[in-house]
Amino acid sequence: MQSLALNPEQLRSQLIWANEREVERDFLQHQVGVARESPAWFIRTGSLSWQAEHDTLTGNPGDWVFPGQDPGEVQFSPGSRIISIRFLLLHADGRLLFPGQSIHRCSGQDFPGLEQSALRLLTVLAPWQQQGTLMLGRHRIPLPENLEIESAFQGFLAQYCRFQLEQGEHPQPAGQEDQRVQQALQELTLRDMRLPFSEAELGKQVGLGPRQLRRLFEQETGQSPFQHYDHRRQELARHSLRESRAPLKELAYDLGFSSPAHFSNWFRNRCGVSPGQYRKRGLAPKRREPPYPPEA
């Protein structure tokens, strides 16, 4: 197994959801596209089949399945029950830590730490599942419980990394980027969207003037800090509209807008439809948190 010597502070990790349930009818068969978000499925009952251009795979009860970055179609048998975990594990600049293309399957008996860590995560999350989506809802959870969730999530990531290395997947090495830009990226990733954004204030946090920050940031990312912030805001908005039934007023507040109307105008300008239309056009599931919906 290849050693993975990386400082966790150089990585971005975020739990999106973790639950156990019967796969909803609307998601028994669907496309899985390339995404920065990583899914993991543990099959309790039923089965799944995976079909991609160069890959086919079947998963049975007791199996873990980890889709890679190759687009494909997954089909669950009716009545399948799974543990579904979806998360981010990225370098600070947004590159996947494990960019492998192939889907992987293993028996839970061969990697017992995966199931043990997943069950611990489900246990600490259980009282807070009504939050709907964790990408915006974590601020509603008290600090001690939030830290318990994060501890359990990091335990699962440790097992996930061990599994990937056992499969021969090679983590992307950390780049030689300007550390001040990396710090700025980290600040933007962890930023509470309810707070106002200022490039000048971000520059102060990382020891750069606004012009110097913009120049270095654009050199390394191809975007200005504000463009990166706005793209992240769009990502959170689309995710929350797809994966939760939270009222638009609540989402608007969580994303830092003064009113639902302001949020709606902003969203329409960037996505071409209103938030309500985005949900109604089938881009959001009828029920909360599907196993891995098609990317919009």
Residue 249 within a domain:
yes
Q: Tell if the pTM clears 0.85, that is, is over it.
A: no
* Cα gap 89→66, rounded to integer Å: 14
CATH of the domain at 220: 1.10.10.60
Q: Are residues 130 and 60 in the same domain?
A: yes
| 28-73 pLDDT tens trace | 887 776 567 788 999 999 999 998 877 789 999 999 999 887 888 8
Q: Which DSSP helix (H) or strand (E) runs through 110?
A: none
Residue 133 — pLDDT band, cuts 50, 70, 90? Answer: low
Q: Are residues 187 and 148 in the same domain?
A: no
Picking from 166, 191, 209, the residue at the C-terminal end of a domain is 166
Q: Which domain holds residue 229?
A: 179-283
Q: What distances in angstroms separate CA 55 from CA 74, 79, 101, 106, 285, one per listed residue?
A: 11, 25, 10, 16, 27
CATH of the domain at 146: 2.60.120
pLDDT at position 283: 46
* Cα gap 140→134, rounded to integer Å: 10
Residue 187 — pLDDT band, cuts 50, 70, 90? Answer: confident
pLDDT at residue 164 is higher than 90: yes
Mean pLDDT across the chain: 83
Q: Are residues 160 and 187 in the same domain?
A: no
CA angle, residues 225, 229, 230, in degrees to nearest 5: 120
What is the mean pLDDT of the segment spanning 204-221? 89
Residues 56, 74 contacting (CB under 8 angstroms): no
